[in-house]
Every structure is written in C-alpha cells, then in structure tokens.
Amino acid sequence: MSSPLRLLAASLALLGLTLAGCKKESCLGNDENCRVVSPCEKLSYSCEAASGSMLEVRTLTPTDKRVGSHDPVPGPETVPGGLNALGARGDILLGNDRAVAVIAGLGNTNLLDPNGGSLLDLSARGKDNDGLNQVLQVVGILPGDAAHYTSMKIIDERPTRVAVQFNGTLDGKPEFPIHTIYEMRPCEPGIRVRTEVLNTAVDPQLWALADGFYWSGREALPFTPAEGSGYQHPSFSLLSIGNAFKKFPYLTAAMASDPASSYAHVACGEADLLEGFQSDQISSSGLARTVVQPRDYLVFERFLAVSERGDVAAAADLALEARQKLRGEEYVTLSGVVTRNGAPVSTSGREVSVLVSEGELTTTQANRVPWTQVTPDKEGRFQARVPAGRDYVVELHAFGRKVADRQLDNVNADTDLGTLAVSSHSRLTVNVVDWVSNAGLDAEVFLVPVDDTTLKGTEGSLHGRFGTCAPWLGPPPGPSPACNRFLVRNGTATVDVPAGRFYLYAFKGPFWTIDRKTVSFGIEPTTTVELALYKLALQPLNTVGADLHVHGAASFDSSIPEYDRVLSFSATDLDVIVSTDHDVIYDYAQTVRELGLQNKMSAVVGLETTGHILWMKRPGASVPLVVGHYNFWPLEYDPTKPRNGAPPDELVEPGELFDRVKESAPPALRDQLLVQLNHPWSDAEFGRDLGYPRALALDTTKNLPASDDGTSAGMYVRTPKGGFANNGQHAQEVMNGTQNDMLLPYRAFWFYTLNQGQFAAGTANSDSHSLTDNTVGVPRNIVYTSTRPGTSFNTAEFNKALKAGESFGTNGPVIEATVDTASGPRRFGFTPFAPAADAQLRLRVSAAPWVPVEEVRIVVNGNVVKTLSGTDLFHPEDPLDLLSVESKLMRYNGNLALSELLSGVSGDAWVVVEAGARLPLAADFGGPDGKPDGIPDTGDNNGDGKVDRADIAEGSSYGPLRTPAPPTSEASSQFHFSQVVTGGYPMSFTNPFLLDRNGNGRFDAPGVAAQ
C-alpha cells in the first residue's frame, strides 16, 4: 500500500477513536444523568430584579387545590384553574411572575399522554385561565410516536430559572430515546421547551418532531399566519394528513369563552419557521418532517406564551415580540376604535372582531396572509401587532359577518386606523314568565329568521369556524349567547342582535309549552319582548327526568362555562343530571347550589371514559383501535387526584375498565355503580371508535357466542379479568344527541342485544357539550323511581330503577304502557312475567302540542308488528295555542290485544313501544367490516323515496346516514319542533316488556332468527 493511503487510513482510525470518546452535549449522547441544555438561548426578556423571587417549582401534593375546582375538602387554592385545568397531585408546577404551568407527573396519564410529562395547564399568573387540554411531544400521528417518559428531574436554580426534565423513549420503542426540558425564567410570558429525540435504530425514520396540541373541538381555535390560512386550514383524514402540513412563523390559539386565554407557539432554536397541520381537533407545530438517519437526532426548541385575552392578537403580540428578540423582525402596532350606532361597542365584544391580513383589497382570501385577529375591549378600542413594512387589509366583522374593510399600504410605523363603524343592531331584552304564576323562569330563547332575506343577511360564523348560524350571536361552543340562542335566568336576559325579522322562541324542555313572537330588529335601538310558558301535565307521577350524558368545560371538548352549563339544566327543566365529562370525574353540585337549584335538581357525579391511545386489535384487522366510550356513576369527585379521581382508562378492554372504575369508587358506591355503553355504533373520530360494538365490527346477523371463540363477537362477550364481561354494561344509549341522527343504528343494535338476552336498559341522552351541539335534556330518560330530585335524592334507588329497565326515553312524546297479568297490570322492565291469557297492551301516548306524534309503533322481537298513525292518533291543530291546552295532550289512549301483536311469534317475546315521527328510510349495505351486518348505514340521500345504491356517497361502499333536513314551511307539523330541537325529530321508546309466554320463569331470548 502506498504511503498516502496508509497515512489516510491511520488518520481516519485515530479520528474515529477521538470522536467516539468525546463527551456529548446535552442529552444527545443519551447518557444516564444527562442534562438537557437550556432552551431558547437567544430569547431574553428584560426583568425587574424582584421578578426572580416569583419563580416556583414543586410537585403538587394532596393539599394543593385547583382554583374553582370546588373541592369538597376546604383549603387554600394553590393551583391555577381555568376551563381545562387538570393539575393534580404528583404533577409538577412551574411558575414565574407572568405565567404558571403544570406538567403531568410521571405516571399521571391524561388523554393522549402514555405516562406523564405532557404540558397540562398554562395560565397567566393570577388569571386562572388555563385553556389547554394537553400539549405533548410527538414525532408523528401514531400512538408510538408520542413520548413515554420514565424518569424525571426537577431543576431548581432560582432566581435564574426553574425547570423539569423528562427522559424516556417513544412509546413502546426503546430504540428512540427522547428528552424534554420545560423551563421558566423570570418575567417571561410563558414556558421554554426543548426536546431531543434520537434514532438509535439501524433504519431511517420519518419524524415530524412537534408539539401536539389537543384542542378536541369546541375549544381554542388554531390560527397560523400563512397564505390562505389564519383560521382556515385544509381538512384532512388520517390518510391525507401529509397534505395538510404547512409552514408558519407562529401558531396561536384563542379560547373564546370565560375565562379567556390565548397561546402563542414560536420556534426559538435553529428552526425559523414551524411546520405542522391544524384543525379544531388537533394541531401539530414543530420541525419540518425529516428523514432521520440511524444515529441521527432532532432538537426542537420553542417558546409557548400565554395571554389573558381570548383573541388571536393577545397571543400574536407575544409571538411577534419573541420573534423580534430572536430574529430581529420588526413589528408595528395597529389601533383603532369600533363604534356601533355612533357609540363605542359596549358588550362582551365577542360578536365584534377585527381581522388583519397581509395583502390588498384586490387580493383573494386564498392569497392573503392573515396575521392577527383582535376583539375590541368594552370601550370599543383595539390594538394589534403585525410585521412591519407590509400591505394589510383590515376587516371588521360583526355578528359573524364582514361589515367593512380597509387597505393599509406599506405599514412601517404604528398606525391609528381611527373609527370603524358597525352597522345598526338592536339590544334585545326578553322576559320569560310562567303563564300561570307570572314568575320569571330559567329558559332558553332561540332566534329564527322569518324570511330568506333575514336568513341570508344574518348568517355568520367565527371567521368560518364552528359552523354557521343565522343569526350569529356569539361563538357556538362558548357561553350564552351562542349561535342563535341564549339562556334566560329568572325570567330576564339581554343580548345584542343584528337587524332583521326573527321569530323568538322560548323553550323550557319537552314538557312545557313553547311561546313564539315575531320581532323586527334594527329599527329601534332597544326592544323588549314578553314570552310566557306553561308546564304541562305530561311527566308521569313518580318519575324523574334525567339526562345521563352531559358534558361541561371539564371535558376536553367543551368550553361552556359552568354557570351556563348548570343554568341550561334548569332551562330545560331537568330533574337529574349525571356529569359525564370525558376522562375526568366532575361534580356540578356547588354551582347547582350557587344558582339555588339544589331543592329541585340533583347532579350525580359521574365520568365518561374515552379511549384515546390506539392499541386494541380485533381478529382479522391490523389497525389498532380503542374501546370507545362508557359512562359510569356514581363516583367520588376528588379534584386533587389525577383526572379528579377517575382511574386510568387506556389500553384495557371494557370489562377490565368496568372493574377498575368500580374499584376506584368508595365502597359505599360500588354496588350502585351503573355502566352505560355510549353511542354504540357511532362513526369513529380521528381513528378512534366511540362505541365498542362498532370498533369490533360486530355482525348482528349472527348470534353472540357463549364465550370467547376467537372472533370479534367472542371479544364482545369475554371477561378479561374475571369481573365484568366486556358486554357487562347495565345500560346502552338508543338515543344520543338532540339531532338523534344515529338513532337507527343504535336502535338496531339494542334490538339485537335484546334478542340475544342481553338486557341493558335503553337510554336517551343529549350528550350535550355546549348550548348548540345538543340541547341538554333533549332527549332525556323518564325513570320510574320513588326517589325525588333535590337534597334527598337517592342515587341507589335511581340506578336500581334504571338497571331494571323501568324507564323510557324521549325528546317529547310520553309513553305510558302496561300489559295485563293475572296479578294486574305490569309496566315494562327487565323482570320477565307471564301475560294473562287475554292480555291487553294498555297504551297512553301524550305530548306537548308542538311535538307532533305521527306514529306509535309496537315492536316485537325487533320487528314492528303494528303501527298506529293517521286517524288512530289525535293531532292538535295549533301547536302554539294555550287555550284548553291540557285537553290536547293525549294522542292515543287505547288497548291492543297482545294475542294480535304476538301473532306468528312463538316462544318468549319482548315488546317495545315507540312513538314520534315516522322513522327515516334506511338500509344496510355494508359496515365497518365491509359486508352487511344488520345495522342500517345508508339513508335516502337522494330523496327519491327509496334507499338503494344510488344513495351511497361516491367512493364509499355504504352510507351515509343523514339527519332529515328540517322543514322550512310552517305548514309542516315538525316546524316548531325543529326550531327548538335543532335537527331532531320526535321520538320516544320504552324499555321492553319481557313476556315469559311459556311460563318457565325466565325469558328465553329469541336470537337473531326472530328478526
């Protein structure tokens, strides 16, 4: 070998020896006890000397209580609160003089976080305005792309900095170490974060190292300055998500509720721009997608700031300030005043908004770059920062619509825009009273455009998000007013409304009359409207009306303030509300008391477990799944515990989950526990099934096996841990949501389980998350029980009745039914009985005049055997007439011979009574597993009066099922109903009568052959 080659080889060998022995910076060498370097080296805020004394870092203990958590055990509230506050014992609190953060402690799992280490809360100091569900470090969209931290170290270097470092690997992948440090320094409006992830495997990886923001809808909205973006983001599915990635200088997200908050996310390391995808559900914001070679690594440094206002500008101002410090980018401030009717705006301001975009008036929206959005203060003033030296278009929006715009050229200095004028509006005051006593009522008022001109002239949205409303009075997920409705407390409410001609509907649940007035706005600055309601004698004696599925701000997908939430219970005249927030236990009792409702309303403490982390494999499928959603109550609320005391609910089959929840309850409550299967056949959201039967793709044309036979059906019936079986729920939803759009699949599945001898009580719940997605209490359960709502309410008695099937579900019609036996009439329920030889089904169906009842159906073993309609039923002429209204409630009162109903049916039989509108046409073309499964999946989508393959959406093998369009003509019997029961149609159903016809003392289930 020649000398040069020898020299080269020897030099390389020596170089390798040298480099291999070098100590690695930060944790890039994945050394044990390594320390991640401080993030955002170039970021510097000037500080008062005393600011350092406000730094704090500590692990939360059982004595730490969140502000506003209504801990039953009194004590000082030491942890910031807010709509999404989750901080609990074992979590880590970091704080400075401007912000306070809570990071999940090791083992404190929340939502998508496998083992702690995610950012749970970030509030402005003293504002208790946490609006974050969760921010976690991810490298992709799969469960295994999230960090699973296994060790943690608190770093206390006061007065300079406080920090906590988490070390671990990507979840289930030890070959990918990951380290994250959260750090706070004095006088900074947020938290610094640095994450390092290493590829120690031998294959390249595709990573998008980012912060995953879990908004989950109805919460903060992501806003990114990029061409055609702002609030607008490309829609995507799991398969097309790669196309939704965009680059942007910062991400902001603002929570349009109370307390308000907004966040700014800025890269502060080597990366200049962030990259990610945005949606109402989830955002990713981080490094560009990178092919990471073996032994390579990624480092992501960012600053997450929090403000105390609920508009984009509050966060964007912080983002631009940070970018000025980091990269020297200059910004200018735009300011002005918004007036209405010649005076500064003076309401909550949510209905007025100023959007600033880079571009010119001639530039299309798709080519503008929205930089900020600002909501004027109570004096109508606004100011917002934008990058210097650019052309801008300033748009003024009111009631969800653009009302003015203006162009600013080459803005190089702070600029006063002067006055922006909003078009005329009216201030509306409504008084809603009891028609008999004239006492002010808690109620809900809906505004409905009278004509097409008003509809088109008032339809608006929150800059294109959260759907459209006419009129748009406020953000649909937020407090009252929301969308086209508002709450009335003790008979009075005042809101601002746009010009137009509207119906005003007053509503107080299905068992009251509704009142309607027609009003024109825009002529007079103020208008007062009187509305009166009358409680009808509809709800049977010895019953309570209960909504068993209700969400509030404690849920990750709800931002309705607690006051509005509880007031909405009263506004629809509910007796019992089970709080079933996602993944956290919650208790409304304190607010019920604060509103003085404790003597007529009972709030039961419950939980909705919600599968987030994909893990479950069903036979024959490779895509991992979750087990869906289940409700549990009663439980104990302890806000000092993670998830307020709820047990971890990920990575377990339903039966084990039921066991866990039962075990987590105090001994006195365990025997009362009621488990409800929610929306059993709901469509999956973002790859997460919402119902276990649908996740398993059960084939309801086949009988369930007696035990696990290795099939999906076997998974459904098996007992994973020796306690509950996976199908051990006591109740399952048949009606879910005010729209009730999935009634037919839920009903079909319930009928299937009844045919299998699985007696879970059918329930009807709103699943309400706000004032607009569903109206709380619509539908509801009417439960036959001796306990009364109020302070003496007995949950054990209530649950006992529910478990026994002694209830019916309704959004209006009331069904009272008995069957004759030798010992007298028997109501429906899960105790089998032998009917008398000449037994009659004695039936009374009643409803408020505005609730049309088109059909009464008798269902035997899943088949409709008799339908009463037309002249069989009474139909009130004027749904709004109060005269002799009590005499117009009964729609059917008669007897049907059981022998006639059971003609052709051999053996034992179950009977369910339904009443309401005609059911929409539907057929079964496929299902999750691709073949007909006995569950309706496709509606008459082309409106030709039949359901065939022409109704199937293009590119799909089945579906969809759509809610019937609401009537537009007042001539329709459902016109008034659809104005206050948005998107719904009348429906009620009883639980089954179990007829032991062969008298053997038990009910012998008919199986699928019966249908």
Contact (CB, 8 A) for 913 and 815? yes
**Minimal distance, residue 2 CB to other proteins, in Å:** 8
Q: How far apart are CA 959 and CA 232, in angstroms?
A: 28
Total H helices, total E strands in the chain: 13, 60
How far apart, in whole angstroms, are the C-alpha atoms of residue 965 and residue 968? 9
Residues near other proteins (CB under 8 A), total: 49
Q: What are phi and psi of 388, to 5 degrees?
A: -80, 155
| Contact residues for 174 (Cβ-Cβ < 8 A; gap 6+) | none
- Cβ proximity to other proteins, 77 vs 175, nearer residue: 175
Q: Which is nearer to other proteins, 290 or 383 (CB)?
A: 290
Measured from the CB atom, the residue of 208 and 673 that comes closer to other proteins is 208
Q: Tokens at residue 992, please?
A: 């089954």
CA distances from 510 to 11, 117, 484, 522, 535 (A): 87, 46, 19, 32, 9
DSSP state of 751: H
Q: Which stretch binds other proteins (CB under 8 A): 137-145, 320-328, 809-817, 923-931?
A: 137-145
Q: Minimum distance from CB of 17 to other proteins (Å)? A: 5
Strands (E) located in 260-389? 261-267, 274-276, 282-286, 290-292, 297-307, 331-340, 343-344, 352-358, 369-374, 381-387
Report, in Å, the least distance between residue 879 CB and other proteins.
51
Q: Which is nearer to other proteins, 30 or 335 (CB)?
A: 30
Q: Does 204 bind other proteins (CB under 8 A)?
A: yes
Structure tokens at 703: 């009988």
Location of structure tokens 């093998």: 957
Q: Tokens for 296?
A: 């390579």
543-550 and 576-579 beta bridge pairing: parallel
Q: What is the spatial distance between Cα 681 and Cα 749, in angstroms, rounded to a whole number?
A: 8
Burial of 529 (0-12, 13-18, 19+ CB in 10 A): middle
Q: Is there binding between residue 922 and other proteins (CB under 8 A)?
A: no
CB 749 within 8 A of CB 936: no
What is the nearest approach in angstroms of other proteins to the Cβ of residue 171?
13
Nearer to other proteins by C-beta: 622 or 792?
Answer: 622
Per CB under 8 A, contacts with other proteins among 229-248 are 238-242
Residue 112, interface with other proteins (CB under 8 A)?
Answer: no
Q: Does 291 bind other proteins (CB under 8 A)?
A: yes
- Of residues 579-638, those binding other proteins (CB under 8 A): 622
Q: Contact between 383 and other proteins (CB under 8 A)?
A: no
For 933, phi then psi, to 5°, come to: -125, 10
What does the DSSP assignment read for 584-652?
S-B--HHHHHHTT-TTT-EEEEBEEEE--S--B--TT--S-B---EEEEES----TTSGGGGPPP-SS-
Tell me: does residue 897 bind other proteins (CB under 8 A): no
| Separation of alpha carbons 499 and 513, rounded Å | 28
**Contact residue for other proteins among 59, 78, 200, 963 (CB under 8 A):** 200
Tokens 């009568």 locate to 993
Report the residue number, 18 or 364, with the smaller CB distance to other proteins. 18
Segment holding 518, helix H or strand E: strand 515-521
Q: Tokens for 776?
A: 């709380």
Shortest distance in whole angstroms from residue 142 CB to other proteins: 5
Closest separation in Å from C-beta 947 to other proteins? 33
CA-closest candidate to residue 235, choices 263, 185, 277: 277
| Residue 38: both structure tokens together | 């401080």
- Name the one range near other proteins by CB under 8 A: 56-64, 138-146, 689-697, 997-1005: 138-146
> What span, in angstroms and rounded, lies between the C-alpha atoms of 465 and 708?
46
Does 206 participate in binding other proteins (rule CB under 8 A)?
yes
- Number of neighbouring beta carbons within 10 Å of residue 11: 10
Question: In this chain, which of 47, 106, 142, 404 binds other proteins, going by CB under 8 A?
Answer: 142
Contact 644, 606 (CB under 8 A): no
Query: Would you call 683 exposed, middle or buried from its count of C-beta atoms within 10 A (0-12, 13-18, 19+)?
Result: middle
1009 binds other proteins (CB under 8 A): no
The nearest distance, CB 181 to other proteins, in angstroms, is 16
396 contacts other proteins (rule: CB under 8 A): no
CA distance 211 to 231: 19
29 binds other proteins (CB under 8 A): yes
Q: Which is nearer to other proteins, 206 or 950 (CB)?
A: 206
- Residue 300 found at the interface with other proteins (CB under 8 A): no
Name the segment binding other proteins (CB under 8 A); options: 1-9, 736-744, 918-926, 999-1007.
Answer: 1-9
Please identify, among the stretches 286-294, 418-426, 840-848, 940-948, the one whose residues bind other proteins according to the rule CB under 8 A: 286-294
Q: Does 338 bind other proteins (CB under 8 A)?
A: no
Task: Classify residue 526 by burial, with Cβ atoms within 10 Å: 0-12, 13-18, 19+.
Answer: exposed
> Contact with other proteins (CB under 8 A): which of 35, 153, 289, 390?
289
Which of residues 4, 17, 344, 950 is near other proteins by CB under 8 A? 17
- The answer to whether 882 contacts other proteins (rule: CB under 8 A) is no
Stretch of residues binding other proteins (CB under 8 A), selected from 292-300, 481-489, 588-596, 931-939: 292-300
In the complex, minimum distance from the CB of residue 459 to other proteins, in angstroms, rounded to a whole number: 35
Q: Which stretch binds other proteins (CB under 8 A): 8-16, 321-329, 744-752, 859-867?
A: 8-16
Q: How far is the CB of 193 from other proteins (least distance, A)?
A: 19
* 203 part of the interface to other proteins, by CB under 8 A: yes
Name which of 75 and 930 has its Cβ closer to other proteins.
930
Q: Shortest distance, CB of residue 165 to other proteins, whole angstroms?
A: 18
DSSP tag of 731: E
> For residues 200 and 365, which CB has a smaller minimum distance to other proteins in the complex?
200
| Residue number with CB closer to other proteins (295 or 456) | 295
Nearer to other proteins, 73 or 238 (CB): 238
Out of 54, 67, 100, 139, name the contact with other proteins by CB under 8 A: 139
Q: Does 202 bind other proteins (CB under 8 A)?
A: yes
**Could you say whether residue 273 binds other proteins (CB under 8 A)?**
no
Is residue 684 part of the contact set for other proteins (CB under 8 A)? no
Task: Say whether residue 537 binds other proteins (CB under 8 A).
Answer: no
Nearest CA to 558 out of 519, 532, 584 is that of 584
Task: By CB under 8 A, tell whether 207 contacts other proteins.
Answer: yes
Among 104, 122, 132, 208, binds other proteins (CB under 8 A): 208
Residue 983 CB, nearest approach to other proteins (Å): 32
Under the criterion CB under 8 A, does residue 158 sit at the interface with other proteins? no
Question: In whole angstroms, how close is the CB of 694 to other proteins at the nearest point?
Answer: 22
Residue found by looking up tokens 């109370």 in the block = 258
Q: Name the token pair of 538.
A: 């509809």
Member of 61, 63, 160, 293 binding other proteins (CB under 8 A)? 293
Cβ neighbours, 10 Å, residue 880: 14
Mark the segment that binds other proteins (CB under 8 A) among 118-126, 199-207, 670-678, 970-978.
199-207
Rounded-to-integer distance, Cα 112 and Cα 378, Å: 38
Q: Does residue 281 belong to the site contacting other proteins (CB under 8 A)?
A: no
Q: Is 525 in the site for other proteins (CB under 8 A)?
A: no
**Secondary structure of the chain: what % helix, strand, coil (to 5)?**
15, 35, 50
Q: What is the SS3 assignment for 568?
A: helix
**What residue ranges bind other proteins (CB under 8 A)?**
1-2, 5-6, 9-10, 12-17, 19-21, 24-25, 28-30, 139-142, 145, 198, 200, 202-208, 238-242, 289-297, 622
